[in-house]
Structure formats: C-alpha cells, structure tokens
C-alpha cells in the first residue's frame, strides 16, 4: 500500500488546473445505461471511483474505450441488471446505476451499500421515490430488488435534498411514462451537469439547480458528446492549501460561482481572493484568522470541504466552531489532526478548534477521501515530515494530487509502505 510523505513548510506558488468533477462524472457515466447510442465523454478524471463504475458498466454490458481525451461508451444491450456486493462495497456511488437500470430494463438488483466512515448513509429516499413511480421494491439477502413494467411519472418530495437520490430519480424519470416532479431536490452543480448531459441526449428536464426538478418522460435517449464540469471540491482543496501555506496560487478551470461559500469563508479568514481570466487566485497572509463554518447543502458550505477547512482553522488565530449538518460521523480527521498538534474538541456535531501557532509532522492515517485531503493540507503547513497512510482513499477522488502539488513547490512524494 502507498503512503504520501510531505515535508512541510514550503509556501505554495504557481498555477494548478482542476480535473473533471468526480461527483458529476459518476452519475453521467451511470446514465449512459439509459441510451443505446455512442457516448463520447471528455474531462472524465482518472480516479479509482471512476475505474470502479467503469468496471460495473462493463459487467452490465458496456463497451468502453479510451480515445485520446475521451471515454467512449456504448451500451447496445444490457447483459444483466445486477450490481454486485463486491463493487458496491468499494464505492457507494454504484447505487447510481439503480435508476437507469430500472428505467431501461424495468428491473435492477443492486447490493445495498452499507454505512461508511462518514455516516449511516441510507438510500430510503431513492427507494421510496422509485416506489412512487410504480416500482415494486424488496430488500433481500443484502440486495435491493426493484421491478416494474414501466416507470410512471409521479410527484416525489424528498425529506432531505439527497444529491445521488435526486440524480437517481431524475435519471429514472427520463424514460418514465408521464411527468415526474421532484420537490426538495438537491441543487448541487453536479445535479445540473447531469441534467444538461441528459438534456443533450433528448431528455426533457427543467428546474435542475432549483429545489423543484420536473422531468417529462421520453421514449428514448441518444448518445452525445459531453464535457464533464470541473471539480469544485478539488479546486477548493487547492485554495485551502494555498491559503494555509501563505502562498500565491492560481486555481484554473473552475468558475468561482461554484465556490461562493468556500471563497467567502477564506476571505473572511483573511486570504486574498481574486477572480482572473484563467481562474481564482488565492494569496494567504502570514496567519489566517479563525472563522466559524457550518456545512449545508448547496449553495451552503460543502460538507466535502469541511475536513480541509478544519485543517486550515487548526493553524488560524483564534477559536473556530465547525458544525457538520450533512453527515453525522464526518470527523475522522480530528484525531489525526490532533496527532499533529491541533487543538480540537468534538461536541456533538461541532468541532471546536482553538488555533495553534504550529503543527508538527507525524505519521497519520486517512479515514476517508476528504479526511486524506485535510491531512495533506495540514502536512503542507506543518514543521517536519508527515506520512499519510491509507492513500487509496485519496486516489478515489484526487487526480495526480502529488504531481499537482509538486508543481506548486510542495515537497511531497508517494512511497510504498
Ligand atoms: N439521506 C437519507 N436518505 C437517503 C439519502 C440520503 O437520509 O435516501 C441523508 C444522508 O444520510 C445525509 C444527507 O441525506 O445525511 C445527504 O446525503 P446525500 O444523499 O446528499 O449524499 P450522497 O448523494 O450519498 C453525495 C456525494 C458526497 C457528498 C454528498 C453531500 C456523490 C457520488 N457523492 O453523496 O461526496 O458528500 O453528496 O454533498 O455525489 C465525496 O465526494 O467525498 C462525497 C462523500
């Protein structure tokens, strides 16, 4: 297994370009199950999670080839309707094949994802939505079995604005009989990107990006060319790294409109942020000021940036309260940041961070994807050497992170453990 070794203390400087968004690429890849034509997808990031969904699609009957910077997918015939435990257990987002399979085949057997390092993460809203659309849903032997002749349009209210829940139901509704209305839908830009992709292939969707999405079912969807949106969380991670090291970093390729909540917190903490033609420039002061942060669904502060901002706050001047409202267990990074000298107390869903004047490098262990990013950010600013193990979490969601950081002047490398 690999580990990442960082010698901290270098001020980051230069340009970095963000890759395609993992959380847009995954539903877009899953939705190629809806059409039998040829899809040409660009800016698909090379990540373990993307490799996992590709394996799943191949197992379901897809032909996938890499052609230059495109991934070409054709799903003429679906060979079976099963997403097995072996794949789903390694990536919860495999649940995204559920909606498309039921829509196209009238059937799906998908292993139930279990809880994970950040919370229980149920899928009840995906299932009750499909039931409302006329599907029969059964849970047996660890699998969810969904069956229907043809889905029909329905009015669905989500108790919480689930991102993949909205995406699954939106994909399912594209081929349903009649009109589906999803209320309290997730407004994340990745939901909008998926809707744009589906619309290009002939789907009739309106309201994506607001809390009511309406989908009028069509008979068929067509293959299209599409470029996936940039990864706003990756962009936010590099902005945080620039800020904590007192650096001067231009993060290219991601519009600032996706990152308002993150930019506003970094600005409040004393970082200088400027929108330039190529991207967003962050200049960090010698020491940032503490700020309070509360995560919430888009356009609020993203839970996927909570661990990274906590690393930044652990070195800021003052006391910061970080409240996590989306996932109940997303504090796996706290104990590891403490091993580096951070002063953090957990009180329920809040982390109380008393900024310290220095962090010191230590061997630490990543518990999930964003926790790994948090530890890397802390390691970049810490004195001495930090070794982050369980790097496979990082490889699920950050393309070439060491290369990108080395080009910004970080001393970071990957070693075999
Ligand atoms: N929830 C339910 N029932 C459901 C679905 C969700 O109670 O049926 C709850 C969850 O337990 C959670 C809240 O609703 O408390 C929001 O969860 P959501 O369903 O929105 O999360 P998700 O769709 O499983 C996606 C991203 C996550 C990101 C969250 C929140 C993908 C593939 N994953 O997960 O990304 O944290 O939305 O923005 O899009 C990451 O990239 O590191 C990551 C974890």
Tell me which residues are annotated as active site. 116
Q: How confident is the model at residue 307 (pLDDT cuts 50, 70, 90)?
A: very high
Same domain, 137 and 211: yes
Same domain, 250 and 367: yes
Same domain, 112 and 124: yes
Q: What value does the CA radius of gyration of the chain take, rounded to a whole number of Å?
A: 21
- pLDDT tens by residue, 88-145: 998 999 999 999 999 999 999 999 987 678 888 899 999 999 999 999 999 999 999 9
Same domain, 345 and 387: yes
Q: How confident is the model at residue 187 (pLDDT cuts 50, 70, 90)?
A: very high
Boundary residue ending a domain (204, 225, 246): 225
Q: Among all chains, which residue has been given the structure tokens 């942020």?
A: 273
Ligand 1 nearest-atom number relative to CA 167? 23
Same domain, 153 and 239: no
Q: How far apart are the first and last CA of the chain?
A: 6
What are residue 173's phi and psi, to 5 degrees?
-70, -20
Q: How confident is the model at residue 416 (pLDDT cuts 50, 70, 90)?
A: confident
SS3 track for the chain: CEEEEEECCCCCEEEEECCECHHHHHHHHHHHHHCCCEEEEECCCCCHHHHHHHHHHHHCCCEEEEECCEEEEECCCCCCCEECHHHHCCCHHHHHHHHHHHHHHCEEEEECCCCECCECCCCHHHHHHHHHCCCEEEEECCEEEEECCCCECCEEECCCCCHHHHHHHHHHHHCCECEEEEECCCCCHHHHHHHHHHHHCCCEEECECECEEEEECCCCCCCCEEECCECHHHHHHHHHHHHHCCCEEEEECCCHHHHHHHHHHHHHCCCEEEECCCEEEEECCCCCECCCEEECCCCCECHHHHHHHHHHHHCCECEEEEECCCCCCCCHHHHHHHHCCCEEEEECCEEEEECCCCCECCEEECCCHHHHHHHHHHHHHCECEEEEECCHHHHCCCCCHHHHHHHCCCEEEEEEC
Is residue 410 within 8 Å of 13, Cβ to Cβ? no
Q: What is the pLDDT of residue 249?
A: 98
pLDDT of 298 higher than 90: yes
Q: What is the pLDDT of residue 329?
A: 83
pLDDT of 152 higher than 80: yes
pLDDT of 65 higher than 80: yes
Ligand 1 nearest-atom number relative to CA 23? 39
Distance between Cα 293 and ligand 1 center (Å): 19
Pocket probe mutation, ligand 1, options 326, 329, 366, max atoms within 8 Å of Cβ: 326
Same domain, 138 and 173: yes
Interior CA angle at 208 toward 203 and 212, to 5°? 110
12 is written with which tokens?
A: 């980051």
119 lines ligand 1 (CB under 6 A): yes
Q: What is the pLDDT of residue 14?
A: 98
- pLDDT tens by residue, 79-101: 999 999 999 998 999 999 999 99
Same domain, 190 and 332: no
Boundary residue ending a domain (225, 251, 281): 225
Distance between Cα 164 and ligand 1 center (Å): 6
Domain extent, residue 177, equals: 22-225
Same domain, 210 and 273: no
Q: What is the pLDDT of residue 279?
A: 97
- Average pLDDT of the residues in 316-343: 96
Count of alpha carbons within 13 angstroms of residue 205, beta-carbon side: 31
Percent of the chain with pLDDT over 90: 94
- Average pLDDT of the residues in 392-402: 95
Boundary residue ending a domain (162, 197, 225): 225
Distances in Å between the Cα of 95 and the Cα atoms of 89, 167, 325 are 10, 10, 23
- Count CB neighbours of 257 within 10 A: 11
To the nearest whole number, what is the mean pLDDT of the chain? Answer: 96
Same domain, 204 and 246: no
Q: What is the pLDDT of residue 371?
A: 97
Q: How confident is the model at residue 402 (pLDDT cuts 50, 70, 90)?
A: very high
Pocket probe mutation, ligand 1, options 24, 98, 165, max atoms within 8 Å of Cβ: 165
Same domain, 285 and 324: yes
Tell how far CA 401 is from the center of its chain: 15
**Ligand 1 atom 31, closest CA:** 23
Pocket probe mutation, ligand 1, options 45, 164, 167, max atoms within 8 Å of Cβ: 164
CATH number of the domain that residue 272 is part of: 3.65.10.10
- pTM reported for the whole predicted model: 0.98
- Average pLDDT of the residues in 30-47: 97
pLDDT of 78 higher than 90: yes
Same domain, 56 and 156: yes
Same domain, 394 and 251: yes
- pLDDT tens by residue, 205-226: 999 999 999 999 999 999 999 9
Distance CA 133, CA 143 (A): 20
User: How many domains is the chain partitioned into structurally?
Assistant: 2
Distance CA 231, CA 23 (A): 8
397 lines ligand 1 (CB under 6 A): yes
């Amino acid at each position: 297994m690999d580990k990442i070794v960082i010698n901290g203390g270098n001020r980051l400087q230069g340009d970095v370009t963000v890759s395609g968004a993992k959380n847009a690429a995954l539903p877009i890849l899953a939705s190629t199950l809806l059409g039998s034509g040829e899809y040409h997808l660009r800016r698909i990031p090379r990540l373990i999670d993307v490799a996992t969904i590709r394996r799943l699609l191949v197992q379901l009957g897809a032909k996938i080839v890499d052609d230059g910077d495109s991934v070409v997918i054709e799903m003429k015939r679906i060979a079976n309707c099963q997403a097995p435990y072996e794949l789903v257990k390694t990536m919860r987002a495999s649940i995204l094949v559920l909606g498309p399979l039921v829509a196209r085949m009238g059937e799906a057997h998908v292993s139930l994802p279990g809880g994970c390092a950040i919370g229980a993460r149920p899928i009840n809203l995906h299932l009750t939505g499909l039931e409302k659309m006329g599907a029969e849903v059964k849970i047996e032997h660890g699998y969810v079995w969904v069956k229907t002749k043809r889905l029909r349009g329905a009015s669905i209210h989500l108790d919480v604005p689930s991102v993949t829940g909205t995406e699954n139901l939106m994909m399912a509704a594209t081929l349903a009989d009649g009109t589906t209305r999803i209320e309290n839908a997730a407004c994340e830009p990745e939901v909008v990107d998926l809707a744009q992709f589906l619309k290009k292939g002939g789907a009739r969707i309106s309201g994506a990006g607001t809390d009511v999405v309406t989908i009028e079912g069509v008979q068929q969807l067509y293959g299209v060319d599409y470029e996936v949106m940039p990864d706003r969380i990756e962009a936010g991670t590099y902005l945080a790294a620039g800020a904590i090291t007192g650096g001067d970093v231009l993060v290219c390729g991601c519009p600032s409109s996706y990152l308002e909540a993150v930019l506003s917190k970094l600005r409040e903490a004393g970082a200088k942020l400027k929108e330039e033609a190529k991207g967003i420039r962050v200049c960090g002061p010698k020491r940032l000021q503490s700020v309070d942060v509360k995560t919430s669904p888009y356009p609020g502060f993203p839970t996927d940036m909570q661990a990274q901002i906590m690393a930044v706050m652990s070195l800021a001047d003052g006391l910061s309260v970080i409240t996590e409202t989306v996932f109940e267990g997303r504090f796996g990074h706290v104990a590891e940041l403490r091993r580096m000298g951070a002063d953090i107390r957990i009180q329920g869903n809040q982390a109380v961070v008393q900024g310290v004047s220095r962090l010191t490098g230590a061997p630490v262990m990543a518990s999930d994807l964003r926790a790994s990013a948090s530890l890397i950010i802390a390691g970049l600013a810490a004195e001495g050497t930090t070794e982050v193990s369980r790097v496979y979490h990082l490889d699920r969601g950050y393309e070439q992170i060491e290369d990108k950081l080395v080009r910004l002047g970080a001393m970071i490398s990957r070693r075999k453990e």
